[in-house]
Amino acid sequence: MLDGVLCPACASAAAQPAEPDDQPLPYGWAKVQAGLLILSVVRSLATENTAEFSLLDPLVNGALAACILRRSKLILPLTGIAVVIAVLGIIGMVLAGRYNEVGHLAVVFVIGSLYAVYYYRRRHEFKRWL
């Protein structure tokens, strides 16, 4: 071929635009988290141990699950609130001397922190507030 002349295969390949990098990422794992949060809300509302019952935890988890399913901008603040609640729970249990229950909240803290990083990296996908 002559210089500057493309074959038909090369010309069609050059005419194709590059794929955009801002395509939405898969959201499957977030749906799993929302389902687990809904199950935890139902479990905490159905618990019979009313001495330690707090309405704050199911309220935050339910709102977080709804925001996750709707891809709301409130996911990051609610995830932060859930992590802070876990930290305060850990501090409260240590001060009360209930060391055997700290492990559960420590796991909640670690998982909540990982989800905060997960949603922070996806923050550009969240367009609506509610």
Reported pTM? 0.69
Q: What DSSP letter does each residue of 6-44 carry, written as one string?
A: --HHHHHHHHSPPPPS-PPPP-HHHHHHHHHHHHHHHHH
pLDDT at position 54, please? 74
pLDDT at position 128, please? 80
Q: How confident is the model at residue 39 (pLDDT cuts 50, 70, 90)?
A: very high
Give per-residue burial for 42-67: e unless 16+ CB within 10 Å, then b: eebeeeeeeeeeeeebbebbbbbbbb
Please write the tens of the pLDDT for every residue from 79-94. 888 888 888 888 888 8
Please write the tens of the pLDDT for every residue from 64-82. 999 999 889 999 999 888 8
Alpha carbon distance 77, 94 (integer Å): 26
Residue spans per domain, the chain: 27-45+53-125
Length in residues, the chain: 130
